[in-house]
Amino acid sequence: MLMAIAENGPLKQAQLALAFDLAPPTVTIMLTRLARDGLINRHSVADQKQTAIALTEAGRALIPEIERAWMQVDRMLCHSIGTSQAEGLSQTARKLRDALGGKPPHAKLGDDECGY
């Protein structure tokens, strides 16, 4: 969720729910926890009926750590099963996600690049 906000700028809660294919109450719970931990801010947008979600300084500070963690997982996977099999596993996982109607959790909204 933090990566999606970081990559797409301030987002409305409805956009996050749609991007992650989650029910709005589920997103509300997640965002409440992130706000409680000081990682996001909620700001009313012009019509006051919706809220824009943006990262705080603390939230932005976590992004490099999150990116390093994902890179470490990729390296460990490649080291464990080899690059070719890791690429195949990634492609299979994307096909399964797509077949089940899922969306990429870390890509820019509307984007489906996974790096393999």
We report the CATH number of the domain holding residue 20 as: 1.10.10.10
Q: In the chain, what are the helix, strand and coil shares in percent, each to the nearest 5?
A: 60, 10, 30
Are 43 and 71 in the same domain? no
Separation of alpha carbons 51 and 49, rounded Å: 7
Are 11 and 38 in the same domain? yes
Q: Give how many domains the chain has, as a whole number.
A: 2
pLDDT means over runs of 10, the chain (116 residues):
90 88 91 96 76 94 94 90 89 83 58 43
Q: What is the pLDDT of residue 116?
A: 40
Q: Which domain holds residue 67?
A: 61-99
Query: Residue 34 class from Cβ within 10 Å (0-12 exposed, 13-18 middle, 19+ buried)?
Result: buried
Q: What is the pLDDT of residue 51?
A: 82
Helix (H, G, I), strand (E, B) or coil at 67: helix
In whole angstroms, how large is the CA radius of gyration of the chain?
16
Are 46 and 70 in the same domain? no
Q: What is the pLDDT of residue 103?
A: 62
pTM for this model (two decimals): 0.71
